[in-house]
A and B are shown apart, each in its own frame.
Chain A
Amino acid sequence: MISNLRRLGQFGLELIEVLGRAGTIWWMAIVRRPKASNIPLVIKQIYQLGVLSVLIIVLSGFSIGAVLALQGYNQLVKYGSESALGLGVALVLVMEIGPVVSGLLFAGRAGSAVTAEIGLMKATEQLSSMEMIGVDPLHRIVAPRLWAGFITMPILALMFSVVGIWGSSLIGVDWLGVYEGAFWSAMQAGVEFDSHVLKGIIKSIAFGLVVTWIAVFQGYDAEPTSQGIAAATTRTVVYSSVSVLVLDFFLTLLMFDF
């Protein structure tokens, strides 16, 4: 009984400690102003995290848009309201699926890479040698990645939505024969910039922040062995996927009136 209680206390203390360390990293890297000389590093990270993720985002966005069009059409045509297809697909993509699925893909594609890279840097003692020569690894390694994730995610989510809507119009309008004017007019009448699009963008920014934060922290906190790096990479993908989904629920609850 007492030992169980002790284990619970241990767990709680560890949790607080981990959160504290993660918070410190975030504070040091983002809030303590990044230097202007770090901008080339940010650009390089935007390339690594963003540009290299474009292909997977475009492919998945197109497939999801096309599938939404196919399935949506199948249901809507029963009620003769297939003209609402564009509206449904656009709302779902812009508000939910765009930010969430690109967040999950981002966690798998970019987050895992960040964790493995930083973990290996730690294992090969590059981080400690940096500290030795007076370079703060938080500024040189962590901050550019956090900023890049923060900038990259909303762009990827928007691309996802645009490609998805294009895919659904390709399937819905050109193939299944939904009238083009109704497809776009219902969409434009129903989707509002400030109450739908903007909230999706806010979501994607939050996801970008959380995913890169988890990835960077797991790498920074990894046990400096090959097994430790493997475990940290797994944790990054698991934790960031779960937190994207949970965070999505709470953000939806907060931002949309129910």
Chain B
Amino acid sequence: MQMRTLEIVVGAFLLAGIISLAIVAVKVSGFTQGDAADKYSVQAKFENIGGLVVRSKVSIAGVIVGQVSAIELDQKTFMALVTMDIDANVDQISIDTTAAILTDGLLGGKFIGLSIGAEEEYLQDGDELVDTQSAVILEELIGKFLLNKF
């Protein structure tokens, strides 16, 4: 094989190595930014989010309609301010919808379940859900159970 072709092939090989490193660094161990074009964001405050993480799913009736895009601490109320991106085609969520943090199975990850309300006004981009329900913390439940019993 000619030296020129050889060098090109080896160059491609080394480039593939660098790309692999970049993929492992960004896609596997870092984070990616999804396109926010066909989504709108809604906020909600929770007393306790349990194990909710960024990119956890948001579902209505068990169907996935979006994901959590940011989690911050609201410094005034000391509640967790969760921002979620909801698919733009799900645009008829009434403003008195309840957001609850649920658990996927016994050991699964946390996700947000939306229970649709009765109002005829719909959530717009940037709106906040008022009615929220915190994550169920197993330890708290056990504590309550013990206190009631004894």
Taking Cβ atoms with an 8 Å cutoff, the residues of A that contact B are 40, 43-44, 46-47, 50-51, 54, 79-84, 90, 94, 151, 154-155, 158-159, 161-162, 165, 179, 181-182, 184-189, 191-193, 196-197, 201
Contacts and interface: CB of A to CB of B under 8 A. Distances in A.
B10 A51 contact: yes
B12 to A, nearest CB: 8
A154 B24 CA distance: 13
Contacts of B30: 188, 193
Interface string B8-39: 01101110110011011101111110000000
Interface in B21-61: 21, 23-25, 27-32, 53-57
A184 B55 contact: yes
B57 A43 contact: no
A81 to B, nearest CB: 5
30 contacts: A40-B3, A43-B10, A47-B6, A47-B10, A50-B13, A51-B9, A51-B12, A80-B104, A81-B105, A82-B108, A90-B28, A94-B24, A94-B28, A155-B17, A158-B24, A159-B17, A181-B56, A181-B64, A181-B67, A182-B55, A182-B104, A184-B55, A185-B53, A185-B54, A185-B55, A188-B27, A191-B28, A191-B29, A197-B24, A197-B29
Contact of A159 (B6, B7, B16, B28): B16
Chain A binding surface, main DSSP class:
helix
Contacts of A184: 27, 32, 55
Contacts of A162: 20, 23-24
A155 B107 contact: no
Contact of A161 (B3, B20, B67): B20
A94 to B, nearest CB: 7
Contact of A193 (B3, B23, B25): B25
A186 B9 contact: no
Nearest to A191: B29
A165 B20 CA distance: 11
A159 B20 contact: yes
B106, B108, B109: residue with the most chain A Cβ atoms closer than 10 Å: B109
User: 6 shortest A-B CB distances, which residue pairs?
Assistant: A80-B105, A155-B17, A185-B55, A158-B20, A191-B29, A193-B29
Nearest to A186: B109
Contacts of A201: 21
A181 B57 contact: yes
Interface of B: 1, 3, 6-7, 9-10, 12-14, 16-17, 20-21, 23-25, 27-32, 53-57, 64, 67, 104-109
Given A181-B56, A191-B28, A193-B30, 6 more contacts: A46-B14, A47-B1, A50-B10, A165-B28, A182-B56, A188-B55
Contacts of B17: 154-155, 158-159
Nearest to B67: A181
Contact of B106 (A47, A80, A159, A197): A80
Contacts of A186: 109
Contacts of B54: 185
Contacts of B31: 188
Contacts of B6: 43-44, 47
B24 A188 contact: no
